[in-house]
Amino acid sequence: MQKEEYIQNLLKEFLRLNPGLTISDIRKNSYLSHSVIWHHLEILASRGECLRIERGDTDVYHLNNVIDNLSEFGIADDHSDYHFSYNFDLVENPFGRFLRIQRLRESRSRANTTRGGVIVPYHLIGTIANILVKVKENHLNEEKNKG
């Protein structure tokens, strides 16, 4: 796990210093292979750590910079056998500001590791919150579903 963490931190540093990199850009300036770079950038993108934008047949990666850690809103799911928790951060990249929601799980070494994430544009947060309320009311209400 240490090697993976090292590679991901290295890639995040590349993206921090040089916004808008492709796999080829990173490969030219590192000892990493194309497949290793692609694999770890995809992990970072799936966790909401970076944003992948398709430009024709090339993917361009941008780091999601944390501008505010919203740790006071963290949620622990004590009802699940998997013991997931959820973190919220405000992040920024060249395309704007976003709310990042990450799903974490405790690893064997007792460290919380990010398992997945999504970024939501600021202007859509209210709309998505309203949709979630409607989904809960119309589809997740246990009393309605029992009938």
List the chain pLDDT tens, one digit each, 147 residues: 588 889 999 999 999 999 999 999 999 999 999 999 999 999 999 999 999 999 999 999 999 999 999 988 988 887 767 678 899 999 999 999 999 999 988 777 767 788 899 999 999 999 999 999 999 999 887 655 555
pTM of the predicted protein model: 0.83
Cα dist. 20→5, 38, 59 in Å? Answer: 21, 15, 9
**Based on the domain organization, do 89 and 54 belong to the same domain?**
no
124 is in which domain, residue-wise? 64-147
Domain finish residue from 43, 63, 83: 63
Q: Beta partners for 114?
A: 104
- Cα radius of gyration rounded to whole Å, the chain: 18
CATH label of the domain that carries residue 97: 3.10.450.700
Q: What is the pLDDT of residue 36?
A: 97
CATH label of the domain that carries residue 27: 1.10.10.10
| Structural domain count of the chain | 2
**Based on the domain organization, do 74 and 111 belong to the same domain?**
yes
How far is 104 from 76, CA to CA, in rounded Å?
A: 9
